[in-house]
Amino acid sequence: MPSIDRRLRLVALTAVLGATSALTLAGCSGSTSSADPSSSGDPSTVNVTLASGSNGDECTADTTTAKAGPVTFSVTNESATGIIEFELLQDQRIVGEKENLAPGLAPVSFTVTLDGGTYQLYCPGATKELTDFTVTGKAAKAATGDTAELLADGATGYASYVTDRIADLLDGAKQLQAAIDAGDLDKAKTVYAGTRQFYEKIESDVSGFIKPGADPTDNAGNLDYLIDMRASNLDPEVGWHGFHAIERDLWEKGAITDDTKKLAAELTENVTTLSELSKDLTFKPEDLANGAAGLLEEVQSNKISGEEEAYSHIDLVDLASNVEGARQAFAYLEPGLKKLNADLTDQITAQFKNVDDVLAKYRDATALGGYVTYDDATKKAAANEISQAVQALQDPLSQIAQKVAAAS
């Protein structure tokens, strides 16, 4: 099992599907049975179970082979406290992942279209972290029918949406730095709240980039850590950086110091690097579906608890932004998805409206970011209702990755 410091670094590593970041690998256990995927084009399914064993936490897959084409990985954490993420790797590149896998939560899944070759199932923190996973044959040639074209067009359009949000994020980081450099505490708080939304809307799409030439296992080069780390995933070797380090100064310390100015300049520099690295982002339709599901998982694992914005308590701003990002991914898929399953599309649309109706109760135009402060009283009144509404959306939304992967 890796040392606790190494695990802290590994836990913070996530990736956009198709990103070019690399990982130093260590190991994940799995059975050696063969999959028997259908030849109909439906996704194969690989069930991964995380559980506490006599020798430590174990990560077990019910198969280590699959047929080329769409493959769905369903991950259940039954009792493993030392494993909180699962990744599918090829040539040290993350091609699919799930994180925040707390014990006892419902299974989560992602679907990716795989060509023949050798991949790895990676479970940081398991007694054996890495095992080979073999994909046989070649993926079928991409369909060219109307549905496939609509889905492909949606993926292209969504890439532009993400690029625009990164531009907004960079502009906001520059404005935040300017307010901090000017020593304007109130303006800095306002800009902070207004800028956070842009990262939260696209978090699942940009969280895998590292600084050029950096060690991908070290948070010192992990842009997601440097931009969006928080107290709950603090790496002591790297320390505080990014938005939440600035948040701590502005709210808990209530002062702008020379260190705050350095943090703001560093944030602008790191967002600039992210912008440069993500200029040529491309997505497959299933990437949008997986990303939307991942954003809702962020809501349930980090936002509902109030751990994200521990000092400003603008968690509802972040939460609403995660929902909006998921909505946009769904919206770009919707024309093609309607052709695949109109009833499911309508169900998801209705559940998005339900979430909107619940969140509307907590809107406040006079508050930072447009939502009431997520203090203990608000959390007690709102957390269960919001979580239930998001879960009702999450359930049907989690079904679309398989469908669009098989059709695209």
pLDDT in tens, 38-84: 334 577 999 999 999 988 999 999 999 999 999 999 999 999 988 88
DSSP readout, 324-346?
Answer: HHHHHHHHHHHHHHHHH-HHHHH
What do you get for the CA distance between the two ends of the chain, in Å?
Answer: 39
Q: Return the CATH fold of 142-408.
A: A middle domain of Talin 1 (1.20.1420)
Quickly count: other Cβ atoms within 10 Å of residue 359's Cβ.
Answer: 20
pLDDT in tens, 278-293: 998 999 999 999 999 9
- Which tokens is 23 given? 């990982």
Contact 125, 94 (CB under 8 A): no
Q: Bridge-partner residues for 135, per DSSP? A: 66, 117
Q: Where in the chain are all domains bearing CATH 2.60.40.420?
A: 4-136
pLDDT in tens, 39-50: 345 779 999 999
State how far the Cα of 133 lies from the Cα of 254, in Å rounded to an integer.
51
State how far the Cα of 379 lies from the Cα of 314, in Å rounded to an integer.
11
State how far the Cα of 364 lies from the Cα of 371, in Å rounded to an integer.
5
- Which tokens is 216 given? 């991908």
Which strands sit side by side in the sheet containing 86-90, from one edge to the other? 65-67, 130-136, 117-122, 86-90, 93-98
Contacts of 376 (CB under 8 A, 6+ apart): none
Query: 401 pLDDT exceeds 90?
Result: yes
Q: Where in the chain are all domains bearing CATH 1.20.1420.20?
A: 142-408
pLDDT in tens, 177-212: 999 999 999 999 999 999 999 999 999 999 889 999
Contact 54, 390 (CB under 8 A): no
Q: Does the 4-136 domain belong in CATH 3.90.600.10?
A: no
Query: 13 pLDDT exceeds 80?
Result: no
Contact 57, 81 (CB under 8 A): yes
Q: Mean pLDDT, to the nearest integer, of 298-324?
A: 95
Query: 134 pLDDT exceeds 90?
Result: yes
- Rounded to the nearest 10 degrees, how much is the dihedral formed by the CA atoms of 48, 49, 53, 55? 20
Q: Bridge-partner residues for 122, per DSSP? A: 87, 130
DSSP letter, residue 271? H
| CA atoms within 13 A of residue 209's CA, in its CB half-sphere | 23
Quickly count: other Cβ atoms within 10 Å of residue 251's Cβ.
Answer: 17
Contacts of 306 (CB under 8 A, 6+ apart): 313, 315, 374, 379
Q: Mean pLDDT, to the nearest integer, of 345-349?
A: 97
HEC profile of 229-293: CCHHHCCCCCCCCHHHHHHHHHHHHCCCCHHHHHHHHHHHHHHHHHHHHCCCCCCCHHHHHHHHH
Q: What percentage of residues in the chain have a pLDDT greater than 90?
A: 73
The alpha carbon of 216 is separated from its chain's Cα centroid by a whole number of angstroms, namely 17
State how far the Cα of 328 lies from the Cα of 116, in Å rounded to an integer.
32
User: Which pLDDT band holds residue 272 (cuts at 50, 70, 90)?
Assistant: very high
Quickly count: other Cβ atoms within 10 Å of residue 377's Cβ.
Answer: 10
Query: 16 pLDDT exceeds 90?
Result: no
Q: Name which of 130, 127, 131, 107 is nearest 57 in CA terms.
A: 127
pLDDT in tens, 352-395: 999 999 999 999 988 999 999 999 999 999 999 999 999 999 99
Q: Mean pLDDT, to the nearest integer, of 294-310?
A: 93
Contact 272, 164 (CB under 8 A): no
